[in-house]
Amino acid sequence: MQVKVLLCVMNRQTIGIVGGGQLGRMLTQAAQPLGFSVVVIDPGENSPATQVGATQIEADLYDKAALSKLADQSDYITVEIEHLDADALAELVKEGSVVNPAPSTIKLIQDKYLQKEFLRKAGLDVADFVKIDNYADAQKALKKFGGSMVLKTRHGAYDGRGNAVITNEIELKQAWELFKDTPLYAEELIPFTKELAVMVARSTKGEIAIYPVVETVQERNICLEVLAPAAVGKTTTAKAVKLATKTAELLEGAGVFGIEMFLTKGGKVLINEIAPRVHNSGHYTIEACVTSQFEQHIRAISGLPLGDTSLRAPAAVMINILGERNGDTFLTGLDKAEANPHTKVHIYGKSPTKIDRKMGHITSLGETVDEARQRARQARRSITI
């Protein structure tokens, strides 16, 4: 019996993921059919990834002992979140671990100001921005940007936390108070007509694969819906694909990256933000593309060839299932939701429910985006959680 266990450990490769939330969960589900074991670090008891068979190291993501343990157990290390100790990951690389994307990439992306600087220096289109070191800088910036701007924390922003739209001095003061002692920068407020996103994969061999350009619909700075493909012309699509490709070429390390963009009224496409990981705007790929973003990420970081990214249906719409209250998770309406044709519900196994917490998502396919959207919205209305 001892021998059997030993041999099992020997011949199965293991993916180590920093973070065991819904992204870690869906990465785990994609890794298992390929024969991988998965181990995650997550502070929460019975994390979403653990529920689907990942071994969990129950620890804070910044816990160095936990990271060492992860490294000991893993053939390939990756992340499902960028808010972590990139220096500690760099240490693991020095000690011989394979970490993708590169810790340097994660570190760059962690600081949104440096991220923007990097993109601007590389000649990629971004919204204009300035560093803010003190209140006077912020006042100057507001003037420079014509009386409206977005004040952003350089670190740790997530699902809209850390962004404030400023249109006057009162709002500036309020935001200043809110972000007190946090490193900041400011961006011009882009009068965009659409928010776009492109998932792009880069393998350890430098191969690049681009997913369709999608439209993301945000509210309260949280992604509500993703429409695939985006209803934009060829020129816009080409611009978005070019930006995504260039970005993937620039960043070090392998994996899937989410590139969020603005389409301006004037028809420009600007990079808003990069996620060095699988991304909410790519969940639709599970049902809608030949290779899901999750399988693609596993392929990318483990040296497998990248898969086909093309759509398998004319259109797909993803709607997030956000918590509508605070309390124990209690799912109802699954039967009604599942009665919608070409509709798939994904529940992440989180408890408790919190307002705006991502509890799951729905993807509907259709002949048109409108058809898929109707199906997904009807399914979403059926569900309470």
Chain residues that interact with a copy of itself, rule: CB under 8 A:
1, 4-5, 7-8, 10-12, 29, 32-35, 37, 45-46, 50-53, 290, 299, 303-305, 307-308, 312-313, 328-331, 334-335, 338-339, 341-342, 344-347, 349, 351-352, 360
The alpha helices in the chain, defined as continuous H runs, are: 2-11, 22-31, 48-51, 64-73, 86-94, 103-110, 112-121, 135-144, 169-178, 234-250, 285-288, 293-301, 334-338, 369-382
Nearer to a copy of itself, 52 or 99 (CB): 52
d(CA 167, CA 72): 51
Taking the complex as a whole, how short is the minimal distance between the CB of residue 50 and a copy of itself, in angstroms? 8
Cα 240 to Cα 109, 185, 196, 210, 380: the distances in Å are 19, 25, 8, 10, 29
Residue 213: CB atoms within 10 A of its CB come to 24
CA 381 from chain center: how many Å? Answer: 25
d(CA 195, CA 328): 33
Taking the complex as a whole, how short is the minimal distance between the CB of residue 246 and a copy of itself, in angstroms? 26
Nearest to 383 by CA among 318, 317, 334: 334
Nearest to 349 by CA among 24, 70, 109: 24
Taking the complex as a whole, how short is the minimal distance between the CB of residue 193 and a copy of itself, in angstroms? 33
Taking the complex as a whole, how short is the minimal distance between the CB of residue 228 and a copy of itself, in angstroms? 16
Nearer to a copy of itself, 261 or 383 (CB): 383
Tokens of 239: 């611009």
**Inter-residue contact 208 to 201 (CB < 8 Å):** yes
Cα 22 to Cα 16, 66, 179, 379: the distances in Å are 15, 20, 28, 20
Taking the complex as a whole, how short is the minimal distance between the CB of residue 13 and a copy of itself, in angstroms? 9
Nearer to a copy of itself, 270 or 345 (CB): 345
**Parallel, antiparallel, or unpaired: how do β-strands 222-228 and 214-219 relate?**
antiparallel
Nearer to a copy of itself, 105 or 291 (CB): 291
Taking the complex as a whole, how short is the minimal distance between the CB of residue 45 and a copy of itself, in angstroms? 8
Q: What's phi and psi for 198, nearest 5 deg? A: -135, 130
Nearer to a copy of itself, 32 or 264 (CB): 32
Nearer to a copy of itself, 6 or 238 (CB): 6
Taking the complex as a whole, how short is the minimal distance between the CB of residue 217 and a copy of itself, in angstroms? 23
Residue 18 half-sphere exposure toward CB, CA atoms < 13 A: 30
Nearer to a copy of itself, 189 or 334 (CB): 334
Taking the complex as a whole, how short is the minimal distance between the CB of residue 53 and a copy of itself, in angstroms? 4
Taking the complex as a whole, how short is the minimal distance between the CB of residue 80 and a copy of itself, in angstroms? 17
Nearer to a copy of itself, 124 or 317 (CB): 317
Amino acid at 379: A
Nearer to a copy of itself, 152 or 299 (CB): 299
